[in-house]
A = this chain, B = another copy of it.
Amino acid sequence: MLYEVDDKFKDECGVFGIFMNHPDQETDAARTTFYGLYALQHRGQESAGIAVSDGHEIRLHKGMGLVSDVVHPENIEHLPGYIAMGHVRYSTINDSGLVNAQPLVFHYLKGMIALANNGNLTNSVELSKRLATYGSVFQTTADTELIAGLLARYSQDAMEDALAKCMIDLKGAFALIIMTEDRLIGVRDPMGIRPLCLGKLNNDYVLASESAALDTIGAKLIRDVEPGEIVVIDSEGLHSLHIMPAPRRAHCIFEYIYFARPDSTLDGINVTLARRALGRELARECSFDADLVISVPDSGTEASLGYAEESGLPFQQGLMKNRYVGRTFIRPTQQMRELGVRLKLNAIKEIVAGQRIIMIDDSIVRGTTSKKIVGMLREAGAKELHMLVASPPTRFPCYYGIDTSRREDLIANIMSQEEICKHIGADSLRYISIEGMFRALGSDGSDYCAACFSGEYPVGLESIEAK
């Protein structure tokens, strides 16, 4: 799009894997993975890939675009096997196209190996220097290639021992799926920053970033992979290693606020219920004398419904979202450029005109969209506009796999709350408090990473500071 109307943090990846003991058809593992990725498409739209093992060889197909653009029936035909894994990716600024698309597949001392990761290492600079000193070369800028290089260094050891050693070397956030010719392995970072869950489709184990992917393929959620756990699935079944004593958990709280699908349940908490609770908490913290509650669709809807429920105010759909917004490269006319957001959202005059409105969004990053929406609602005749945000001000960049804007672009860093309110043109602007956010999730905050709000980073930032 020529102008960005999505003023949101971006998740970077989704992963999926399945070990099918007795597939009906030789492409069942690949096809199930296709649909698993389909369900995780919101976690990354820039590239998609599937790797499959038939017990002897790992085959790979990947490309740029949505999973349904990248994977065609003829590709599936070339992916026979009983173990499969896949990846969807949202590219960050350093990426340069297909070469970084995952899964990555390697030949190494013990055969073939495929890897796909959701997360970000915070000591990648150190690791890559260390590996390069011993002669490693890298084709990609992905942490996943570093992890492969590290594993290969330990390739004289058994895979599980090698993985255990890797766990000690790796710092940061990762939810990693690894496939060898005959095994499927899931690994989650010691604090469980990025989500990864385990399910069963009949008797077959499945790994996925979110439980919604399990639902989509008809699998049942068993449990989440534990922080610091290595889950190894082979023809004998599943066994688990807990390498690192976890000092604390640090689940990414933004998964609940915005990233994850509402129908997913992560680490025991359902996302819809969490958002609704955030809305109710917001109602308790910030009440207004208003006529109705509207949401910025779709991200603010659950919180808005919670707010309406708690406050007793009616919920209305005052903003309509165009479901067909795609990538367009047609330059808008001068006039349209000022209207921008209307391609995606439209105010319904008949609902908002003359009303005192509470508008709820899940978060504000740069404030650009909020300003346009407020303007549009004003033009449609809204009498009062109180903007509420179901998360605290985002002030700190994420180093654990989320593409936040640069710190100097985060509006909460460059303006006071009052200035932001004025800037976007609302009558009031209120955020939920950090404490309120934790309270809504039934926590004192010690289980979550909320660094983007608080600046308290649970894992060291060696590489980042080294830069």
Whether A414 is near chain B, meaning CB under 8 Å from some CB there, is no
A328 touches B42 (CB 8 A): no
Report how far A155 CA is from B331 CA in the complex, Å: 38
B326 touches A316 (CB 8 A): no
With A109-B132, A322-B39 known to touch, is A218 a contact of B336 (CB < 8 Å)? yes
Most interface-central of A98, A149, A215, A347 (chain B CB within 10 A)? A215
With A35-B343, A135-B149, A322-B38 known to touch, is A309 a contact of B305 (CB < 8 Å)? no
Segment at the B interface, from A173-181, A230-238, A257-265, A457-465: A257-265
Whether A107 is near chain B, meaning CB under 8 Å from some CB there, is yes
A108 touches B138 (CB 8 A): yes
Whether A298 is near chain B, meaning CB under 8 Å from some CB there, is yes
A315 touches B305 (CB 8 A): yes
Most interface-central of A156, A217, A350 (chain B CB within 10 A)? A350
Interface flags for A303-340 (1: CB within 8 Å of B; 0: not) read: 00100010000111100101111111111111110110
B137 touches A134 (CB 8 A): no
Q: Which residue of B lies closest to A263 (CB)?
A: B320
Report how far A349 CA is from B339 CA in the complex, Å: 40
Whether A34 is near chain B, meaning CB under 8 Å from some CB there, is yes
With A139-B139, A322-B38, A326-B68 known to touch, is A346 a contact of B216 (CB < 8 Å)? yes
- Contact check: which of B261, B273, B328 meets A68 at CB < 8 Å? B328
Whether A212 is near chain B, meaning CB under 8 Å from some CB there, is yes
Copies in the complex: 4
- Contact check: which of B132, B315, B348 meets A262 at CB < 8 Å? B348
Contacts of A262 in B (CB 8 A): 317, 320, 348
A73 touches B270 (CB 8 A): no
Report how far A106 CA is from B381 CA in the complex, Å: 44
- Contact check: which of B99, B317, B326, B327 meets A302 at CB < 8 Å? B317
Whether A290 is near chain B, meaning CB under 8 Å from some CB there, is no
Question: Interface majority SS on A: helix, strand, loop or mixed?
Answer: mixed
Whether A426 is near chain B, meaning CB under 8 Å from some CB there, is no
B98 touches A333 (CB 8 A): no
Contacts of A152 in B (CB 8 A): 132, 135-137
Report how far A121 CA is from B202 CA in the complex, Å: 48
A346 touches B76 (CB 8 A): no
Contacts of A218 in B (CB 8 A): 335-336, 338-339, 342
Whether A32 is near chain B, meaning CB under 8 Å from some CB there, is yes
Q: Which residue of B lies closest to A111 (CB)?
A: B132
Contacts of A302 in B (CB 8 A): 317
With A132-B108, A136-B152, A155-B132 known to touch, is A332 a contact of B31 (CB < 8 Å)? yes
Interface flags for A1-33 (1: CB within 8 Å of B; 0: not) read: 000000000000000000000001100100110
Contacts of A298 in B (CB 8 A): 323
How far, in Å, is A410 (CB) from chain B's closest CB? 26
Whether A351 is near chain B, meaning CB under 8 Å from some CB there, is yes
Whether A118 is near chain B, meaning CB under 8 Å from some CB there, is no
B315 touches A273 (CB 8 A): no
Which residues of A341-397 have CB atoms within 8 Å of chain B's CB atoms?
A: 342-343, 346-351
12 contacts between A and B (CB under 8 A): A38-B322, A76-B330, A107-B137, A107-B141, A108-B135, A132-B155, A133-B156, A134-B134, A217-B339, A218-B342, A262-B317, A273-B351
14 further interface pairs, Cβ-Cβ under 8 Å (given A106-B137, A139-B139, A218-B336): A31-B332, A31-B336, A68-B326, A68-B328, A69-B326, A135-B152, A201-B335, A217-B336, A263-B320, A270-B348, A270-B350, A272-B320, A272-B348, A315-B315
